[in-house]
Chain A
Amino acid sequence: MKDQLVVSKNFKLLTYVLIGIGVVSFALGFAFDAKRTWANYLLNNYYFLSLAVGAAFFGAIQYITQSGWSAMFKRVPEAMVAYIPFAAVFFLLMFFGMHSIFEWTHEDVVQNDPLLQHKMPYLNIPFFFARVVLFFGAWILLTKLLRKFSLKEDEVGGMVYFEKSEMYSRVLIFVLAITFSFFAVDMLKSLDPHWFSTIFAAKSFIAAFMHGSSIITLIVIILYKTGKLQDLNRSHLHDFTRYIFMSSIVWGYFNFAEFMIIWYGNIPEETIWFVKRWHGAYEVLFYANIIINWLIPFLVLMPRKTSRSKMFITPVIILLMIGQYTELYYIIWPSVVHEAKFGLLEIGTFLGYLGLFAWVVATWLAKASLVPKNHPYLKESLHHHF
Chain B
Amino acid sequence: MNKDYILGVFKDEESLVSAFEKVKEKGILPVEVYTPYPVHEILEGMGNKTRISHAAFFFGLFSAIGVLAFMTYAAVFDWPLNYGGKPFNAFPSFIVVTIVTTILSITILTLFTFSARAKIFPGKVPEIIHERATDDRFVMVIDKDSLGNNAEAINSIISEFGEIE
Contacts and interface: CB of A to CB of B under 8 A. Distances in A.
B100 to A, nearest CB: 13
B92 interface: yes
B95 A260 contact: yes
Contacts of B93: 260, 264
A263 interface: yes
A309 B8 CA distance: 38
A259 B40 contact: no
B122 interface: no
B126 interface: no
Interface in A257-282: 259-260, 263-264, 266
B128 interface: no
Contact of B84 (A260, A266, A385): A266
B92 A385 contact: no
A260 B96 CA distance: 9
Interface in B1-60: 40, 53, 57
Contacts of B57: 302
Most buried by B among A260, A264, A302: A264
Contacts of A263: 92
Interface residues of A, number: 10
Interface string B92-111: 11011000000000000000
B95 A385 contact: no
B81 to A, nearest CB: 15
Contacts of A259: 92
Prevailing SS type, chain B contact patch? helix
Most buried by A among B53, B57, B92: B92
A368 B66 CA distance: 56
Contact of B92 (A260, A302, A304, A386): A260
A386 B85 CA distance: 53
Nearest to B91: A263
A195 interface: no
Interface residues of B, number: 10
A256 interface: yes
B65 to A, nearest CB: 15
A303 to B, nearest CB: 8
Contacts of A266: 84-85
Contact of A256 (B40, B53, B86, B95): B95
B139 to A, nearest CB: 23
A264 B40 contact: no
A260 B85 CA distance: 15
B165 to A, nearest CB: 31
B40 A385 contact: yes
Given A385-B40, A386-B40, A264 B92 contact: yes
Nearest to A263: B92
A256 B94 CA distance: 12
A264 B92 CA distance: 8
B64 to A, nearest CB: 13
A56 B158 CA distance: 49
B24 to A, nearest CB: 17
Interface string A125-153: 00000000000000000000000000000
Contacts of A304: 53
B87 to A, nearest CB: 11
Interface string A374-386: 0000000000011
Contacts of B40: 385-386
B50 to A, nearest CB: 11
A187 to B, nearest CB: 28
Contacts of A260: 92-93, 95-96
Nearest to A262: B92
Contacts of A302: 57
Interface string A229-265: 0000000000000000000000000001001100110
A384 to B, nearest CB: 11
Contacts of B85: 266
Nearest to A235: B40
Given A259-B92, A264-B93, 8 more contacts: A260-B92, A260-B95, A263-B92, A264-B86, A266-B84, A266-B85, A385-B40, A386-B40
Chain A to chain B: the 10 pairs with minimum beta-carbon distance, closest first: A260-B92, A386-B40, A263-B92, A264-B93, A256-B95, A259-B92, A266-B84, A260-B95, A260-B93, A260-B96
17 contacts: A256-B92, A256-B95, A259-B92, A260-B92, A260-B93, A260-B95, A260-B96, A263-B92, A264-B86, A264-B92, A264-B93, A266-B84, A266-B85, A302-B57, A304-B53, A385-B40, A386-B40
Interface of A: 256, 259-260, 263-264, 266, 302, 304, 385-386
Interface of B: 40, 53, 57, 84-86, 92-93, 95-96
